[in-house]
Amino acid sequence: MSKFIQEFKDFAVKGNAVDMAVGVIIGGAFGKIVTSIVNDIIMPPIGWLIGGVKFTDLKLTLPTVEIPGVEKMEGVSINYGNFLQTTFDFIIIAFCVFLLVKGINKLAKKKVEESATPAPNPEPTAEEKLLTEIRDLLKNK
């Protein structure tokens, strides 16, 4: 049992598990921000442009059906406006995540290129040049 607890502790405090937990928490908060942007900033002007329609109110109501000898079936509604709203949320979140990943990949690629590029040989100092001349003169004698 002690080994199991130690393995769980190692997993829980590993950088990857903690990073993932932080990512999930920040992702949830980011999702709320994007939902607010879509609901409160983007969708009202779109609804206004198409005649004052509020997307979450869009629905298709199915009629009430009365069949003799069977209990009356009340009409139901298909709330496609909520679906549209959620789809807009998803598209905007996916686009923001795409831009974020693209930026991170660009930074990572730049970092790899910098580390892969060998540093140019530095110009020898005046002292090194003089020592090289002395060495060459001694070699020639």
pLDDT-derived band at 118, boundaries 50, 70, 90 = low
- At residue 78, the 3 state secondary structure works out as strand
Structure tokens at 90: 């998803």
pTM: 0.52
Alpha-carbon distance of 88 to 37, in angstroms, equals 10
Ranges of H-type helices in the chain: 2-13, 15-37, 43-49, 80-116, 126-140
Q: In this model, does residue 117 exceed pLDDT 70?
A: no
Residues of the chain with pLDDT > 70, as a percent, come to 95
Alpha-carbon distance of 51 to 63, in angstroms, equals 25
Q: Give 64-100 pLDDT, tens digit per residue.
A: 877 777 777 777 889 888 888 888 888 887 888 788 8
Q: Give 91-110 pLDDT, tens digit per residue.
A: 887 888 788 889 888 888 88
List of residues 6+ apart from 73 with CB closer than 8 A: 64, 65, 66, 67
Alpha-carbon distance of 79 to 86, in angstroms, equals 11
pLDDT at residue 15 in the model? 63
Mean pLDDT within 47-62: 82
Q: Give 3-44 pLDDT, tens digit per residue.
A: 888 887 777 677 677 777 778 888 888 888 888 888 888 888
pLDDT at residue 97 in the model? 79
Identify the domain containing residue 30 by its residue range.
2-140
The residue among 5, 24, 3 whose CA lies nearest residue 13 is: 5
Alpha-carbon distance of 92 to 96, in angstroms, equals 6
Query: What is the total count of domains within the chain?
Result: 1
Q: How many residues does the chain have?
A: 141
Q: In this model, does residue 119 exceed pLDDT 70?
A: no
Whichever domain contains 114, its CATH number is: 1.10.1200.120
Alpha-carbon distance of 116 to 111, in angstroms, equals 9
Alpha-carbon distance of 48 to 69, in angstroms, equals 46
